[in-house]
């Protein structure tokens, strides 16, 4: 592993932070923490921490010996000084004399000795850092180290690889007990330059930031070299079907299978992040992959991200996709059954009250294709994939020099169900549409953009489809929540299909369609050019049908229901003069909505329509408003608020109606009117 220490960079950071009142020790602590955090083979999504022992001044001017240690919630790659809260050393050191200390009391002790009470919680490994005498202490979950410690006879192997330079600490759950034992191992041989923690990771320490960092890189390199020099021949590969299915062929089925059924047609859905590379596929194609996945996580804190470990499924045969759905569902069922048994067996061992987390896998390995990370948000799904890549790194190394044997699941359980983690999860309340994907056509227009934004604010990821790709991207940015923009002419069936394929590629599927795109053409019906009427039908009817067909195809594969929402306009029920070219296909689309409600209700797919009128948009531009209000001899304001309520109706009002229809779980075949009251357009 490359040593990235650079004197000039280090001194620049010291100088920059000095201007902000941050001392040299803490500035260098930030510098090497970022170096470690930027390397996924060392530290990934919270798996690691660092500290330095220095002095700090409190509000009344008293100076204290403190431990600045990584705070929870901070990413080491981008850490700032405030991400390393200062804890008074005296109290921490005194704790070593205690017989025992519960996790809750440990957190209380750490928090009550913070110099700044607004700091994040200091790391759970704070006491371990404190009990070691060195000024700088670094800790990572290096994949090369895990290849050595995730073995049956890891203690002997650690001695072979590192000699007497590193102390060996048997596996103990992080917290007070681990801190005490690690300190005893160090005291037994104070000449060691670090500690290897069985089934967990590595600590190195030094008198200054550079020494601790140099030692980390050095011993990780020693481990890497050992794996490289002592490799055995690769294990056999599994046989693959002659014709493999594509990831998009199986993604919706898989996404549906891992959704958590809440009963009565309700689901907590997940987002799937597909990831592949030659290295990933080469590893997953191992004939042993199901056994390896069943062994579990490579270091215990990965259980927070991928539970008891990945789920491996068979390679999908493109010619037998019909049968593959049952194969996937069978594997997910087996995984969740094992997970329940794991929970029940281990939960029964004591009187602690725990709530079982959902039993669904967070990482699926598919030979021939790659892997899918699953999570309630795209961010969580991507984290699961990141973790999956590092799991592969560690397991590949372990299998190269021996047999991957990580921490047992019984020992993993107390960590996954650690009270502090459970409390964190309980405070993380999902939004009404968390885990759902909405595809909005005409998504860059006034109504489409407002709807996408409102749905995203309620937790959905939005796929914003628009003729103009730049405007679609802009609307996606405005919507937020990792939404995407897709350029497509939706009157082309191929481009419509491609837009849905994109939704599958990025999120794994689609749950809500807002079929909104439309355009108005004018002319008296008796004199209308046939080509113009047909053109209007292409966009204002057939594109809705094509969008709904694509959505329903995916929803049926997912098997978790869904919602189709159509923008049908007031024209569908109350024609305006010379507006037949617009009203006729809109009337057909209103009927289309009802037909879908009828034909797919049994599959939990709902279908609703919104009748909106007189909304400032691409269909009703400011120029048109000026011309029409002028023609009627009323002011623009009077024209726009010419309804029973006497108020202008906006795109946001239409978005609210779509959201309401999406959330009303027992409402289908509904038409909601958003026009401020127009009695001639009122539905019977």
Q: What is the DSSP letter of 525?
A: G
Smallest gap from residue 335 Cβ to Zn ion (A): 26
- Give per-residue burial for 93-112: e unless 16+ CB within 10 Å, then b: eebeeeeebebeebbebbee
Distances (CA, A) of 510 to 18, 48, 444, 445, 460: 51, 36, 19, 21, 10
Between residues 201 and 373, which has the closer beta carbon with respect to Zn ion?
201
Give the residues across from 674 on adjacent strands.
612
Report the nearest approach of Zn ion to the CB of residue 123 (Å): 9
Residues 463-522 binding Zn ion (CB under 5 A) are: none
Q: Which is nearer to Zn ion, 158 or 447 (by Cβ)?
A: 158
Least distance to Zn ion, CB of residue 102, Å: 19
Least Å distance, CB 128 to Zn ion, is 9
Beta carbon of residue 179, minimum distance to Zn ion (angstroms, whole number): 12
Please identify, using beta-carbon distances, which residue of 201 and 583 lies nearer to Zn ion: 201
Closer Cβ to Zn ion, 123 or 558, answer by number: 123
Angle between helices 530-537 and 580-600 (to 10 degrees): 30
* Both structure tokens of 635: 């002011």
Whole-number Å distance between alpha carbons of 431 and 445: 25
Angle between helices 24-37 and 7-18 (to 10 degrees): 130
Taking a C-beta distance cutoff of 8 angstroms, is the pair 204, 212 a contact? yes
Q: How far is the CB of 455 from Zn ion (least distance, A)?
A: 39
Distance CA 187, CA 423 (A): 35
User: For residues 110 and 617, which CB has a smaller minimum distance to Zn ion in the complex?
Assistant: 110
Nearer to Zn ion by Cβ, of 50 and 434: the residue is 50
Q: Residue 215 or residue 331: which is nearer to Zn ion going by CB?
A: 215
Query: Least distance in Å: CB of 600 to Zn ion?
Result: 49
**Cβ nearer to Zn ion, comparing 128 with 543:** 128
Complex with Zn ion: residue 127 or 543, whichever CB lies closer:
127
Sign of the Cα torsion 458, 462, 467, 472 reads positive
**CB nearer Zn ion, residue 125 or residue 557:** 125
Cβ of residue 126: shortest distance to Zn ion, in angstroms?
Answer: 12
What are the φ/ψ torsions at residue 139 (nearest 5 degrees)? -135, 130
On whether the CB atoms of residues 382 and 371 are closer than 8 A, the answer is: no
Least separation in angstroms between residue 28's CB and Zn ion is: 22
Shortest reach from residue 49's CB to Zn ion, in Å: 7
Of 52 and 257, which CB lies nearer to Zn ion in the complex structure? 52
**Stretch 35-64 residues interacting with Zn ion (CB under 5 A):** none
Count of residues near Zn ion by CB under 5 A: 1
Alpha-carbon dihedral of residues 591, 597, 598, 603, nearest 10 degrees? 160
Burial (CB < 10 A; 0-12, 13-18, 19+), residue 303, is buried
Altogether, the residues listed in the chain come to a count of 684
- Choice between 201 and 247, CB closer to Zn ion: 201
In the chain, what are the helix, strand and coil shares in percent, each to the nearest 5? 50, 15, 35
Q: Which of residues 658-677 bind Zn ion (CB under 5 A)?
A: none
User: Which residue sits closest to Zn ion, CB atoms considered?
Assistant: 201
Nearer to Zn ion, 201 or 310 (CB): 201
Rule CB under 5 A: which of 177-236 touch Zn ion?
201
The sign of the CA dihedral 598, 268, 462, 660 is positive
Are 443 and 449 in contact, with CB atoms under 8 Å apart?
Answer: yes
Q: ∠498-499-502 over CA atoms, to 5°?
A: 85
Pairing of strands 271-275, 370-375: antiparallel
Give the shortest CB-676-to-Zn ion separation in angstroms: 60
Least distance (Å) from Zn ion to the CB of residue 173?
11
Smallest separation, CB 482 to Zn ion (Å): 29
CA distances from 180 to 92, 127, 135, 177, 420 (A): 12, 8, 18, 5, 20
Among 516, 511, 436, CA closest to 481? 436
| Cβ closest to Zn ion, residue 201 vs residue 256 | 201
> Which residue(s) pair with 167 in the sheet?
195
Shortest Å distance, C-beta 137 to Zn ion:
12
Sign, CA torsion 418/421/425/427? positive
Distance CA(105)–CA(99), nearest Å, equals 13
Beta bridge partners of 142: none
CA distances 213 to 32, 50, 194, Å, are 7, 10, 11
Distant-in-sequence, close-in-space partners of 73: CB < 8 Å, separation ≥ 6: 120, 121
CB of 204 to Zn ion, least distance (A): 13
Which C-beta is closer to Zn ion: that of 197 or that of 401? 197
Chain residues that interact with Zn ion, rule: CB under 5 A: 201
């Amino acid at each position: 592993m490359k040593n990235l220490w650079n004197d000039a960079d280090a001194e620049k950071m010291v100088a920059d932070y000095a201007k902000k009142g941050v001392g040299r020790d803490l500035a260098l602590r930030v510098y090497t923490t970022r170096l470690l955090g930027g390397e996924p083979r060392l530290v990934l999504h919270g798996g690691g921490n660092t500290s330095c022992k220095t002095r700090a001044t409190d509000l009344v001017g008293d100076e204290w010996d403190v431990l600045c240690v990584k705070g929870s919630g901070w990413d080491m790659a981008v850490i700032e000084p405030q991400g390393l809260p200062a804890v008074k050393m005296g109290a921490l050191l005194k704790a070593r004399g205690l017989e025992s200390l519960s996790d809750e009391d440990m957190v209380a002790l750490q928090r009550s000795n913070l110099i700044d009470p607004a700091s994040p919680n200091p790391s759970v490994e704070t006491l371990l850092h404190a009990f070691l005498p060195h000024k700088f202490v670094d800790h990572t979950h290096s994949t090369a180290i895990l290849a050595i410690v995730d073995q049956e006879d890891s203690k002997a192997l650690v001695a072979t690889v590192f000699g007497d330079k590193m102390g060996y600490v048997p596996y103990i759950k992080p917290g007070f007990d681990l801190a005490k034992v690690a300190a005893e191992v160090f005291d037994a041989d104070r000449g060691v330059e670090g500690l290897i923690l069985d089934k967990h990771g590595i600590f190195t320490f030094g008198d200054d930031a550079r020494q601790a960092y140099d030692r980390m890189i050095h011993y990780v390199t020693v481990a890497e070299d050992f794996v490289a020099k002592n490799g055995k021949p690769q294990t056999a590969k599994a046989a693959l079907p002659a014709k493999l299915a594509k990831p998009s062929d199986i993604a919706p089925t898989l996404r549906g299978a891992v959704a958590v059924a809440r009963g009565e047609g309700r689901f907590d859905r997940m987002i799937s992040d597909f990831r592949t590379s030659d290295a990933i596929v080469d590893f997953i194609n191992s004939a042993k992959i199901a056994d390896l996945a069943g062994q579990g996580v490579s270091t215990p804190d990965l259980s927070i991200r991928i539970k008891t470990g990945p789920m491996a499924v068979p390679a999908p045969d493109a010619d037998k996709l019909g049968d593959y759905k049952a194969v996937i569902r069978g594997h997910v069922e087996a995984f969740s059954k094992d997970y329940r048994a794991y929970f029940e067996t281990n939960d029964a061992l004591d009187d602690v009250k725990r709530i079982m987390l959902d039993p669904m896998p967070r990482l699926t390995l598919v030979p021939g294709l790659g892997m899918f990370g699953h999570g309630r948000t795209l961010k969580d799904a991507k984290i699961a994939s990141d973790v999956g890549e590092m799991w592969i790194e560690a397991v590949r190394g372990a299998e190269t020099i021996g047999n991957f044997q990580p921490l047992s699941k019984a020992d993993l359980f107390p960590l996954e169900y650690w009270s502090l983690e459970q409390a964190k999860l309980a405070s993380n309340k999902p939004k009404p549409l968390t885990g759902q994907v909405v595809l909005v056509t005409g998504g860059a227009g006034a109504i489409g953009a407002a709807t996408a934004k409102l749905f995203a604010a309620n937790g959905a990821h939005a796929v914003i489809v628009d003729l103009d790709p730049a405007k679609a991207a802009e609307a996606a940015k405005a919507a937020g929540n990792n939404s995407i923009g897709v350029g497509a002419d939706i009157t082309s069936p191929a481009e419509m299909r491609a837009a849905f394929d994109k939704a599958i590629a990025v999120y794994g599927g689609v749950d809500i369609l807002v079929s909104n795109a439309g355009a108005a053409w004018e002319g008296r019906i008796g004199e209308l050019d046939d080509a113009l009427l047909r053109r209007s039908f292409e966009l204002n009817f057939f594109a809705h049908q094509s969008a709904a067909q694509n959505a329903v195809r995916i929803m049926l594969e997912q098997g978790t229901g869904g919602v189709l929402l159509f923008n049908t306009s007031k024209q569908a029920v109350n024609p305006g003069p010379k507006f037949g070219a617009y009203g006729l296909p809109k009337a057909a689309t209103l009927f289309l909505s009802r037909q879908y409600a009828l034909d797919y209700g049994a599959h939990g797919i709902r279908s609703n329509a919104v009748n909106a009128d007189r909304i400032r948009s691409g269909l009703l531009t400011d120029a048109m408003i000026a011309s029409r209000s002028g023609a009627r001899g009323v002011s623009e304001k009077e024209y726009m608020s010419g309804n029973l309520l006497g108020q202008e109706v906006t795109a946001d009002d239409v978005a609210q109606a779509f959201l309401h229809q999406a959330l009303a779980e027992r409402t289908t075949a509904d038409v909601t009117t958003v026009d401020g009251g127009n009695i001639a357009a009122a539905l019977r």
